[in-house]
Structure 1
Amino acid sequence: MGRKAGLRLEGILESVGVEHDIKIYPDAGHGFMNQMNPADSTLLLSFLGAVSGTKYHAAAAQDARRRVVAFFNEHLRSDG
């Protein structure tokens, strides 16, 4: 589902001319940037994470954070 949603979003943004930076990480699933301490998780969150395949993926998270910050700096930063 995640890959299809990313591709669909990219198509929509391209069709309306919105600048974007979409990257699909094939080895990372939903919630790949969420690094939660297991001690802070509830039984329900643990169950939902297991069912949905939500799992932190360090390499993808690091790249995604770098890309998000670069995109925001380019498009939202006001130096004046």
Structure 2
Amino acid sequence: MRPPRLPRLPRARGACPVVASYGGKDRSLRGAAAKLDHALDRLGVEHDVREYPDAGHSFLADAPNGPAPLRPLMKIMGAGPEPASARDAWDRIEAFFDRHLRP
């Protein structure tokens, strides 16, 4: 998820709590975690945003994904599972949902 652009921030005021996890090696979303964290801070939206330095795009996946012929390229790009980061991210997601979605 790309962070909202500054002109769109007022529309996000009053948004529900947000949990987000980004891979630090994901070049397509470089700096997105910090931007989203800053935007949500400015809006006063409760959030838990973290960037995992050892993870790339799709790091939460259990197994390599995408078309089989492209998987070697995805691996070179750093995309795909990163179990240690994924374990921490899923723990954060589950705790966040427990806190905000339990009756």
Q: Same fold (TM over 0.5)?
A: yes
Q: In the alignment, is residue 73 of structure 1 matched against residue 98 of structure 2?
A: yes
Task: Compute the displacement of 1:62 (Å).
Answer: 0.3
Q: Which runs of 5+ in 1 are unaligned?
A: none
CA RMSD, aligned part only?
2.2
Q: TM-score, normalised by structure 2?
A: 0.62
Give me the identity figure in percent.
41
Runs (5+) with no aligned partner, structure 2: 1-26
Q: How far apart, CA to CA, are the structure 1 residues paired with 2:35 and 2:66?
A: 32
Question: For residue 10 of structure 1, what is the aligned residue in structure 2?
Answer: 37
CA distance 1:41–1:15, change in 2 (3 Å) = closer
Aligned length: 76
CA shift for structure 1 position 60: 0.4
SS in 1 for 2:89: helix
Change in Cα spacing, 1:41 to 1:55, as seen in structure 2 (3 Å) is: closer
Which residue does 2:61 correspond to in 1?
A: 34
Structure with more strand by fraction = 2
